[in-house]
């Protein structure tokens, strides 16, 4: 059908659904504070404004490592903003721009895999050079990147947008690493079958829906079953996803009339449901209302896929001796291994930066941030703190939170403005405030749209209680966000 046909179809569906609720598309977007999506409503003025503004005459060879959502969107905006852009992208995956936020909907049986897969070549801005390869080594001292194919590429300015690695191998019993678009053969031997699933890569999401249907089928026989959901001890992309798939399982079990036969338990490594207190409180109430169980400070460290046993490291504090200096008892960190049986388990893998980034001088050198190998950048300007001609955004950037597509929508504008300022010899004045958005799916037809920034306070874009589950946000998630991302963000205009 082509891009325009796909977009029209998506918008027609959205209009139909909104009409049932007595609201127009324009009103819906206005309500959601989505003015940047005005081009979707036939109003191209704002979209054109991004390109009509006088283009910068600044020159320089720009290299972007990573051609996913962050990399392509940045290349597109730079192409729109520079009069003579010289941009090269290194990206090995021909489907790197596939719509990752849709994997949850695939796993819940709402979408098919074909609904989220896009070809990167269809979104490469005119004039941008693509190198189908993978970065093997970064040499920022000499402004060079070496690819796995042996090519040495020099640059004046570097943008790191590699995304991250799903390191399933950090869990004993699971092997290998993968990306959000794919998994290596080792992972597929253990995940996607026999009750072990993960929505964090496309085929894994497809298999999760199959596994969910198998769970429902078994529950219909009258058996009492256990479904476990994990959240690891590393930063992860889309921190709400481990809970989203749990909510969707709950919804599908209720739909099938067998919810009472399956115990749903969430085992996060952290000590809260969400880093923003208001959203944490709302989620706890939602869990209680759905009879979904949880236990904090549990990290999945081992799994036996044959016997269906998951081993967690459980952590807690115990009161020690009385310390007269601080007039309080010393708190001693304790831990033990806890084995739990499961019939279905959703594994959220530990995540880290790709080896080429993690092992380079671009990565954080000190503190806890160094563990993941994330790129060391100023959290507001997204400029590297030691190499001033290097920037990073998206999942690989070493900033608090911010590993979502919604974060990229704010980050890439800041990065482009600051890079052009640097190229023009000006001060970097654009600042990223840590905006993150998580459309938390809480059932078939309900979403809580959690928006927040580094203040860890709700920052809603609309005059509605952000802690309430709403049908309007389900429509936004299912019908509007994908075309906004694919046709807006990837064009550098949203």
The residues carrying an active-site annotation are 238, 438
Per the structure block, which two tokens stand in for 400? Answer: 């608090």
Bridge partners, residue 331, by sequence: 319
Spatial neighbors of 352 by CB under 8 A, at least 6 apart, are 164, 165, 167, 234, 358, 371, 372, 373
Number of alpha carbons in the 13 Å side-chain half-sphere of residue 198: 25
Spatial neighbors of 19 by CB under 8 A, at least 6 apart, are none
Q: Compute φ and ψ for 105, nearest 5 degrees.
A: -70, -35
Q: What's the alpha-carbon Rg for the chain, to the nearest Å? A: 23
- Closest by Cα among 27, 33, 23 to 460: 33
Q: Which SS3 state, helix, strand or coil, does residue 262 take?
A: strand
Whole-angstrom Cα distance, residue 217 to residue 193? 15
- Find out whether 228 and 249 touch, Cβ atoms under 8 Å: no
Could you identify the residue written with the tokens 């520079």?
A: 82
- Find out whether 76 and 115 touch, Cβ atoms under 8 Å: no
- Closest by Cα among 252, 234, 212 to 441: 252
Q: Which SS3 state, helix, strand or coil, does residue 294 take?
A: strand
Could you identify the residue written with the tokens 């769970």?
A: 215
Whole-angstrom Cα distance, residue 70 to residue 282? 31
């Amino acid at each position: 059908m082509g891009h325009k046909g796909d977009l029209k179809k998506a918008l027609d569906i959205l209009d139909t659904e909104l009409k049932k609720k007595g609201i127009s598309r324009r009103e819906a977007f206005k309500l959601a504070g989505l003015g940047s999506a005005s081009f979707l409503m036939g109003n191209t003025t704002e979209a054109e404004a991004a390109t009509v503004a006088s283009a910068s005459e600044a020159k320089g060879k720009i290299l972007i490592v990573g051609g996913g959502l962050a990399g392509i969107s940045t290349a597109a905006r730079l192409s729109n903003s520079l009069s003579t852009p010289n941009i090269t992208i290194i990206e090995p995956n021909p489907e790197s721009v596939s719509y990752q936020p849709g994997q949850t909907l695939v796993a819940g049986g709402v979408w098919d895999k074909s609904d989220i897969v896009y070809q990167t070549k269809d979104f490469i801005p005119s004039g941008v050079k693509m190198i189908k390869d993978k970065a093997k080594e970064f040499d920022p001292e000499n402004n060079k990147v070496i690819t796995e194919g042996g090519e040495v590429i020099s640059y004046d300015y570097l943008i790191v947008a590699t995304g991250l690695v799903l390191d399933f191998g950090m869990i004993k019993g699971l092997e290998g690493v993968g990306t959000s678009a794919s998994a290596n053969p080792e992972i597929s031997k253990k995940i996607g079958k026999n009750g072990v699933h993960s929505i964090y890569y496309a085929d894994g999401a497809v298999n999760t829906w199959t596994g969910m249907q198998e769970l429902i089928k078994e529950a219909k026989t009258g058996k009492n079953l256990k479904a476990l959901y994990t959240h690891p001890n590393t930063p992860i992309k889309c921190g709400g996803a481990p809970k989203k798939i749990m909510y969707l399982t709950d919804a599908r079990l209720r739909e099938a009339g067998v919810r009472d036969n399956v115990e749903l338990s969430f085992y996060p490594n952290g000590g809260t449901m969400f880093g923003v207190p208001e959203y944490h409180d709302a989620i706890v109430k939602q869990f209680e209302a759905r009879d979904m169980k949880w236990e904090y400070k549990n990290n999945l460290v081992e799994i036996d896929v044959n016997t269906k046993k998951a081993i967690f490291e459980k952590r807690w504090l115990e009161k020690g001796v009385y310390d007269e200096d601080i007039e309080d008892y010393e708190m001693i960190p304790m831990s033990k291994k806890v084995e739990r049986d499961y019939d279905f388990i959703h594994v959220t893998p530990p995540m880290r930066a790709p080896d080429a980034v993690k092992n380079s001088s671009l990565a954080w050198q000190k503190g806890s941030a160094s563990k993941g190998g994330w790129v060391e950048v100023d959290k507001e300007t997204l400029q590297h703190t030691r190499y001033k001609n290097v920037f990073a955004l998206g999942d690989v950037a070493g900033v608090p939170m911010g590993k979502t597509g919604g974060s990229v929508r704010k980050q890439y504008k800041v990065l482009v403005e600051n890079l052009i300022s640097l190229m023009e010899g000006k001060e970097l004045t654009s600042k990223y405030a840590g905006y993150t958005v998580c459309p938390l799916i809480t059932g078939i037809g309900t979403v809580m749209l959690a928006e927040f920034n580094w203040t860890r306070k709700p920052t809603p874009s609309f005059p509605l209680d952000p802690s309430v589950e709403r049908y309007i946000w389900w429509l936004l998630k299912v019908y509007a966000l994908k075309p906004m991302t694919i046709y807006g963000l990837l064009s550098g205009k949203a």
